[in-house]
């Protein structure tokens, strides 16, 4: 893509900010060019957000009844999946999957829960609680 072809459609998801894209300048060299986004990207982003919101909504009653851990609800609410949460905490994916089980989550040490809380941008108390 050439520098003058970088999309500048204002994407509402960017909240007035821009992101950096690489594009070719007049001399054929790659340069960083700001982009305000484009419609196709916004449509896909809206779909992804809707998927996480749907997963969080489906998980909430399960978590409130003790069939899922609060960690699973907060993971989806913060728009993360097992892979991203594992990468953010330094745990293996199999460990995160295990920690999503309510009985395992309850027995986790405070330091392990704190790693999850930090990765999700929550306090420890918020991580352990669920909305009413």
Looking at residue 36, what is its pLDDT? 83
Hey, what are 8's tokens?
């500048």
- The per-residue pLDDT for 51 is 96
Give the count of beta carbons closer than 10 Å to the beta carbon of residue 110.
8
Beta-ladder partners of 19: 35
CA distance 106 to 35: 44
Angstrom distance (rounded) from CA 82 to CA 19: 26
Q: Where are the alpha helices (DSSP H) in 8-79?
A: 39-64, 70-77
Q: Dump strand ranges (E) for the chain.
A: 19-24, 30-35
pLDDT number for residue 17: 83
Which pLDDT score, from 0 to 100, does residue 52 have? Answer: 96
Cβ(5)–Cβ(38) below 8 Å: no
pLDDT of residue 56: 97
Q: Which pLDDT score is estimated for 4? A: 85
Domains of the chain: 3-37 (no CATH), 41-128 (1.10.260)
Per-residue tens of pLDDT for the chain, all 132 residues: 888 888 888 777 777 788 899 999 999 999 999 988 888 888 898 999 999 999 999 999 999 999 999 999 999 999 999 999 999 999 999 999 999 999 999 999 999 999 999 999 999 999 999 998
Strand partners, 34: 20
pLDDT in the model for residue 18: 84
pLDDT at 66: 95
pTM for this one? 0.80
């Amino acid at each position: 893509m050439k520098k003058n072809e970088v999309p500048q459609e204002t994407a509402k998801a960017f909240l007035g900010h821009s992101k950096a894209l690489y594009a070719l300048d007049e001399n054929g060299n790659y340069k960083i060019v700001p982009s305000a986004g484009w419609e196709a990207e916004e449509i896909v982003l809206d779909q992804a957000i809707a998927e996480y919101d749907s997963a969080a909504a489906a998980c909430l009653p399960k978590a409130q009844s003790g069939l899922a851990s609060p960690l699973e609800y907060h993971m989806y609410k913060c728009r993360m999946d097992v892979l991203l949460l594992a990468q953010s905490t330094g745990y293996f994916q199999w460990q995160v999957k295990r920690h999503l089980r309510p009985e395992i989550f309850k027995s986790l040490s405070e330091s392990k829960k704190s790693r999850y809380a930090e990765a999700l941008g929550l306090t420890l108390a918020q991580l352990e609680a669920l909305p009413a």
